[in-house]
Structure 1
Amino acid sequence: MDVLELLEAASLLAPADTPAENALTADDVWDYLAHDQWETALNLMEEFRGAGPLPVSFWQSMAEAAEELRLEGSRSWCWWRWAEARSGVIRARLTLRPAAETRRRLPIPGAGVLKPLWNVGNRAPDGGPSLNIASLWVENTLELPPGGTASVRLRPLTPSQWRHLAPDDVITMHESAPVAGTATVLEVRPPVEPPLPQVGEGLR
């Protein structure tokens, strides 16, 4: 499918009255598509909210359109949301320890690159803590410096090991021996649809 077909397919999966952050709706998106303003239409649909979770196929079409338009930031974000639709959403408020207290000296990249270990309360057979891997997306900023605080999204490698989490639970992030950061869970949502076979760039 070409870019227009992909964006049209995505827009048809969102209710017509679904608002974006700037109060425009899916109906408004069609006006941009009709005038070949594809990047604007894609950016608007990235911000859809308020009508419940959007399906896996919506985010797949969006990600493939972003790839065709060579919009790297949008491509990464839409594949991230595709993965969340399959595995569930976990958002938290993360505070990193200051550089003087950990080995980290550089900021954490924001766009889902880092895959640290997390203590979410699971136990190993010997009774000690069992750490779990989850990718980390920092919201509304390109990076999070040591000592900084931000809202983050977590994408577990094994989602079933995180199902017990609830808002206000406290979890810790680990990159070496000392705790690297502490996070308070803000939101936990189940998958939109049952897991599907891996498609395209979704988990790369």
Structure 2
Amino acid sequence: MDIPDPLRQAAVMVPQSATSEAGTTVVDAIDYLNHNEFEIALDILTELGDAYAAEPAFWNLLADAAAEMNLHRAKAWCHWRAAETLHGIIRADLQLFSPEQPGARKTAIPGDGILRPLWDLGLVMPEGHPDLRVARIWVEREPRLDPGACGSIRLAPLSPEGWRHLRPGDEITMHEQAPPAGTATITQTLFPAQ
């Protein structure tokens, strides 16, 4: 695969009016592509994807380009964003409990969506037990979240429909064993129309 090809295909999908938070546009991405600065072009297109609510096909093209450049975290992020366009965005601030507490993590949470803990969303089973749900964690702006630390995360639920009741300010609890491992406060929810 020629790296510029998926990047150029993705660039065609970006509206001319889209501008990233840094002020870049698709014209800037194309200029970098023309100068064989593929990684910079990928970064710009990734930012633009958030500026105009890109479709999964856009994110999949960027993931293909990232794979060709051996940019594994960028590839994982683009796949993550493709899934979010289909299922919605859930962002939160996660406070992990101190490693000395029962149930708390002793190792860092990897930042790229590998960990799939259980979450108590406040839902209850007919028998009266908490209805725990599974969601992967993406740590924002960091490669990992250390035990006892607090950080911004994104969640990718296994069954997104069970999370639609959440609103900013809601608190959910992370479980990996019987005692909880941390608590998260929802900061953003954005679900596609049903």
Secondary structure class of the residue paired with 1:65: helix
Contact 2:14 2:52 in 1 (8 A): no
1:97: how far off?
0.4
TM-score where L is the length of structure 2:
0.93
Q: Hey, what does 1:75 align to over in structure 2?
A: 75
Contact 1:21 1:49 in 2 (8 A): no
1:132: how far off?
0.3
1:110: how far off?
0.9
Matches within 5 A, 1:25-174: 25-48=25-48, 51-103=51-103, 104-174=105-175
1:71: how far off?
1.1
* Matched AA of 1:133: V
1:102: how far off?
3.2
Pick closer, same or farther for the CA change 1:102–1:142 going to 2, 3 Å: farther
Pick closer, same or farther for the CA change 1:170–1:115 going to 2, 3 Å: same
1:49: how far off?
6.3
Matched residues, number:
193
Gaps of 5+ in 2: none
Q: Hey, what does 1:177 align to over in structure 2?
A: 178
Gaps of 5+ in 1: 195-204
Contact 2:96 2:150 in 1 (8 A): yes
1:126: how far off?
0.6
Identify the structure with the greater strand proportion: 2
Pick closer, same or farther for the CA change 1:42–1:57 going to 2, 3 Å: same
Q: 2: CA distance between counterparts of 1:70 and 1:149?
A: 30
TM-score where L is the length of structure 1:
0.89
* Matched AA of 2:20: A
Q: 2: CA distance between counterparts of 1:49 and 1:186?
A: 21
* Matched AA of 1:170: E
1:20: how far off?
2.7
Contact 2:14 2:49 in 1 (8 A): no
Contact 2:20 2:51 in 1 (8 A): no
* Matched AA of 1:162: W
